Amino acid sequence: MGIAAGIKDITQDIVSSYDARVAEVGRLKKETEEMLDSFKASQDKMGAQLRKDLAQDKAKMRAEVRTMRNNFQASHKKMGTKLKKELSQGVTGLRSDVKGMLKDFGSSHKHMGTQLRKELADYDRGISGEVSRMRQETRADLRGARITWQGLAHTMEAKRAGVKVPPKVEIPDLEAKLLAAVNKHPKGVSLAEVAQSLGVVPVVLGRASRSLLKKRLINKKEKLYFPVAGE
C-alpha cells in the first residue's frame, strides 16, 4: 500500500508539473507573440518614419543642391562680368601705355633727328671753316712765295745791272702770312680781322706785326695796318 500510494503521488506530481509546464509554455508563447506583434508594429512605424525622414532629407537635399547650383551660376556670372571689366580696363590701359610709348618714341626720334641735323650742320660749318682757313693759308703761302720770288728776281736784275743789292730781309712764316693778309687790304685791316682769317688769336700776331713795321714792309695808322705800296 505504501508503494502504490507513493507512485500515485508521483504520477499526480508529474501530471501537475506537466500541466504547469504546458500552461507556462502557453504563457511564454502568448508573450512571445505579443512581443513579435509589438516589434512588428514598432518596426513598421520605424520604417514609415525612416521613409518619411528619407523623403524629407531627399527633398531638402534637392533644394540645397538647387540653391548651390543657383549660387554657383550667379557667382560664375558675376566673376565673368568682373573679369570682362578688368580685361577691358587692362586693354584700355595697355593701349594707353602703347600710345604713350609711341608718342615718347616719336618725340625722342624727332629730337634725335634735330640733334643729328644740328651736329651735321655744325660739322659742315667746321669743315667749311677748315677748308676756308686752309685756302687762306695756301693763298698766303703763295703770296709769300710770290713776294719772295719777286724779291729774288729784283735782286738778280739789280746784280746784272751792277746795282748794289741791300742785304736780304728774312721773313718768317707767320710774318709772311701777316704781310700777305695786309697786302690784300689797301684800305687797312686790324690784327683781329687778320687773326680771324688765319685762325689764330690776335696776340700771336703782335710780334710779327712789330717785326714787319720795323722792316718797313707794312705801315700802321691807329689800329689799322696798310701795305707799303698802298700808302
Q: What pLDDT score was predicted for residue 43?
A: 83
Structural domain span for residue 156: 135-227
Closest to 206 in 3D by CA, of 221, 225, 185: 225
Residue 17 within any structural domain of the chain: no
- Does the structure show a pLDDT above 50 at 47? yes
SS3 208: helix
- CA-to-CA dists, residue 103 to 90, 98, 108, angstroms: 19, 8, 8
Residue 200 within any structural domain of the chain: yes
Of 109, 134, 159, the residue that ends a domain is 134
Cell of 183: 697786302
**Do 178 and 210 fall within a single domain?**
yes
Of the two residues 143 and 82, the one the predictor is more confident about is: 82
Measured distance CA(106)–CA(95) in Å, rounded:
16
**Do 139 and 85 fall within a single domain?**
no
**Do 57 and 128 fall within a single domain?**
yes
**Do 92 and 74 fall within a single domain?**
yes
Q: What pLDDT score was predicted for residue 131?
A: 62
- Does the structure show a pLDDT above 60 at 133? no
CATH number reported for the structural domain that contains residue 219 in this entry: 1.10.10.10
Task: Quick: pLDDT tens for 157-166.
Answer: 666 777 555 5
- Does the structure show a pLDDT above 70 at 135? no
**Do 150 and 123 fall within a single domain?**
no
Of the two residues 150 and 156, the one the predictor is more confident about is: 156
Measured distance CA(49)–CA(52) in Å, rounded:
5
The single residue listed with the C-alpha cell 571689366 is 85
pLDDT grade for 190, boundaries at 50, 70 and 90: very high
Is pTM, for the whole model, over 0.85?
no
Residue 23 within any structural domain of the chain: no
Of the two residues 20 and 153, the one the predictor is more confident about is: 20
**Do 69 and 89 fall within a single domain?**
yes
**Do 160 and 90 fall within a single domain?**
no
**Do 223 and 146 fall within a single domain?**
yes
- Does the structure show a pLDDT above 90 at 60? no
Of 112, 134, 156, the residue that ends a domain is 134
The number of folded domains in the chain is 2
**Do 120 and 162 fall within a single domain?**
no
**Do 93 and 169 fall within a single domain?**
no
**Do 130 and 153 fall within a single domain?**
no
Residue 61 within any structural domain of the chain: yes
Residue 5 within any structural domain of the chain: no
Q: Terminal CA-to-CA distance of the chain, rounded, Å?
A: 209
